[in-house]
Amino acid sequence: MPLRTWQTTLCSFVIAGALVGAAGSATVTPALAQGPSAPADFTAIARERMPAVIAITARQRVRERETAPALPEDLPFREFFRRYFEERMDPREALGAGFVISPGGHVVTNDHVMGNAEEVQVVFGTSTRGPVRLVGRDPATDLAVLKVDPPPRMMVTAWGDSDAAEPGSWAIAIGSPFGLGGTVRVGVISAQSRDIRSGPYDDYLQTDALINRGNSGGPLFNARGEVIGVDTAIFSPIGGNVGIGFAVPSRVTRSVTDQLIRTGWVERGHIGVSLQELTPANAQALGRPNEMGVLVAAVEPGGPAARAGLRVGDIVTAFSGNPVESGRHLSRAVAAAKPGTEARITVFGDGRTKELA
């Protein structure tokens, strides 16, 4: 059968995104990489980074209701017992960790550690510090920033490149599992870009460095002692750690915490579409020669995408010159873009490819 020909047309629109140039490609000859030798142990990293890691205790009182047992009508103090079982405030305590990212005392932790805490206590080593102020939180990425009064000669962590943390590279977790402050666990990066269905922007590092209750919010270091992630969650079919832990990568953490410190909230890009993964059947029905891209299921009236002419049934194949692999991939790319700037989206619709900007 004859080859199909796809036209390329250009039009423009402004979305909440930033332009990213597409990188060129070249053919190279494979060679053995001469990487740095593995450290004999991790005592230096533990000794140097431990002072920058804190233990966090967040307390709140939770309103709970209990069902009262059947009580005889003539029971003395019947009304007292009825009120006791009807409603009471139970104390709850969340344990977590955090790490210092600025000389001014800014601390990164997990949003779920904070919850609706009425009282927060942080401990540097054996010294309790206070007061503690919540600077901002971002439930979408489970990150929060606190502000503490910095102790003298406070250690500050350094950011590493989470994108360079390849599977098999070292991962060192420091935290306070079960309240045991200053606990060091060593493992490796097991995988990158994991989606654990916890939110719209899931992009976790997976590690087998053991993470338990009290590690949440603590740093994950590389072999150079740089923070490459924030320990956040574990997967466990038995309730205990089975060596499958997840950390928010430093690439995401830096962007979010910078905004929280600067404004107290996180602003994300938005183009106004609902997405659906492209199936082989959908691709064939729409005349798409392959399954690369994501299907537009709905368009927000009056939104940036609608104003540009994006329609239901279009297939988004690239954003800012980078191929779109899935709906999750596109959502993260759009969210990371700076609101108010122009970006280019390549779409396939009506049998041809269009580039919208």
Active site residues: 112, 142, 216
Question: Rounded to 5 degrees, what are φ and ψ at 349?
Answer: -160, 145
Specify the 3-state DSSP secondary structure of 338: coil
- Neighbouring C-beta atoms of residue 326, cutoff 10 Å: 15
Q: Which of 226, 250, 253 is nearest to 144 (CA)?
A: 253
Q: How far apart are CA 265 and CA 320, in angstroms?
A: 25
Q: How far apart are CA 187 and CA 201, in angstroms?
A: 25
Q: Which helix (H) or strand (E) holds 255?
A: helix 250-263
Q: b or e along 182-212 (b: 16 or more beta carbons within 10 Å of the residue's beta carbon)?
A: bbbbbbebbeeebeeeeeebbbbbbbbbbbb
Q: Which of 194, 231, 211 is nearest to 112 (CA)?
A: 231
